[in-house]
Amino acid sequence: MEQEFSGEVFEWRGPAPYYFVPVPAEEGAALRDAGLAASYGWGMLPIRARIGSTEWKTSLWPKDGGYLLPLKDAVRKPAGLDAGNAVDVRLTFDATPRQREPTTKRAPVPRPVGSREPVTDDQLTIVPANQATWADLHAIFGTTGNPSRCSCQRFRMLPKETWRSEGPEELAARLQDQTACGNPKAKATSGLVAYLEDDPVGWCAVAPRADHPRLLRDYRVPWLGRTEDRTDPTVWVVTCFVTRIGYRRRGISHALARATVDFARTRGAHAIEAYPDLVDGGSVGTPATFAAAGFTAVSHPGNRRVVMRLDF
């Protein structure tokens, strides 16, 4: 289905400045009804948008019962659009759920859900998150528990922001923007996705350390006993692992940790850090996970955490 409308660009000053066009209520309701046929997750609605001669794929962000159309700089700046400008928009929605196209056919591997059989590197395919779909990431994060509530935004939120104040849909929308899922041509993405055969099974958040306001401001672990330039954009950080239920404790996070090294290095990083938990690992990983990937301990701030680092 297609919807056409006019709207005014406005700027939202969230974790990073962003621009949107609000979708009028009538058009938004029609899109929402059509979207019931698409299993996309977290309230996001995949669409194609056109302003003038520029057409691109994106997703509408749910907000206060309606939708917002995000305008990335790659679309906005060439068109000379800024806050307060009026634009004519055409949205095209395909109600067929989007599926990931497998890049490589692999021989079936017996692996019942709940198995503890270790996964080998040749069974996994690990790709930058922009080469995965949003539906794949949703399958990994699930719909219950901390991963689905936080969407790896713990260290990226601003003062006074919390899981409750922002809500899972808003935090998921931020993650989608950070990963550029479904946009293989995106210039930047903030994580890695692991596949076992064609099943999405694991996620790892890895990005420049300076992109994490709460890590720089409130979190003591990286800084105790160190003289670091907190805003150095060439130092990257691994902040989170999520393994899909049914695939845990099979070595997927170890493989993702190893993959972060080349991922960061090829994107200009001079070093990469992690802050694993000495007690249970959890979403931040264990020291053994990072030691196996070549990281070494550089600081022990407290009884539970260690700072591990790899310089390139």
- Distance in angstroms (rounded) separating the CA atoms of residues 184 and 94: 20
Residue 44 and residue 59 in contact, taking contact as beta carbons nearer than 8 Å: yes
| The model's pTM | 0.65
Q: What is the pLDDT of residue 116?
A: 72
Q: What is the pLDDT of residue 44?
A: 61
Largest separation between any pair of C-alpha atoms in the chain: 58
* Fold agreement (2-92, 121-311): no
Query: SS in 3 state form for 260-278?
Result: HHHHHHCCCCCEEEECCEC
Q: Which CATH number fits domain 121-311: 3.40.630.30, 1.10.1050.10, 3.40.50.300, 3.30.390.10?
A: 3.40.630.30
Q: What is the pLDDT of residue 193?
A: 97
Report DSSP state, residue 117.
P
- Distance in angstroms (rounded) separating the CA atoms of residues 178 and 150: 14
Would you kindly state where each structural domain of the chain is located, as residue ranges? 2-92, 121-311
Counting every residue written for the chain, the total comes to 312
Q: Which CATH superfamily is domain 2-92 in?
A: AF2212/PG0164-like (2.40.30.100)
- Distance in angstroms (rounded) separating the CA atoms of residues 280 and 96: 41
- Distance in angstroms (rounded) separating the CA atoms of residues 179 and 186: 9
Condensed to tens digits (0 to 9), the pLDDT of residues 2-34 reads: 889 999 999 876 544 578 899 998 887 887 777
Residue 189 and residue 128 in contact, taking contact as beta carbons nearer than 8 Å: yes
Q: What is the pLDDT of residue 43?
A: 54
Condensed to tens digits (0 to 9), the pLDDT of residues 226-250 reads: 999 998 999 999 999 999 998 988 9
- Distance in angstroms (rounded) separating the CA atoms of residues 234 and 210: 9
Measure the CA dihedral 202/94/149/61, to 10°: 130
Q: What is the pLDDT of residue 19?
A: 84
Q: What are the structure tokens assigned to 278, written together?
A: 């000495």
Q: What is the pLDDT of residue 15?
A: 41
Q: What is the pLDDT of residue 105?
A: 37
Low-confidence ranges of the chain (pLDDT < 70): 13-17, 35-44, 94-115
Q: What is the pLDDT of residue 78?
A: 85
Residue 296 and residue 309 in contact, taking contact as beta carbons nearer than 8 Å: yes
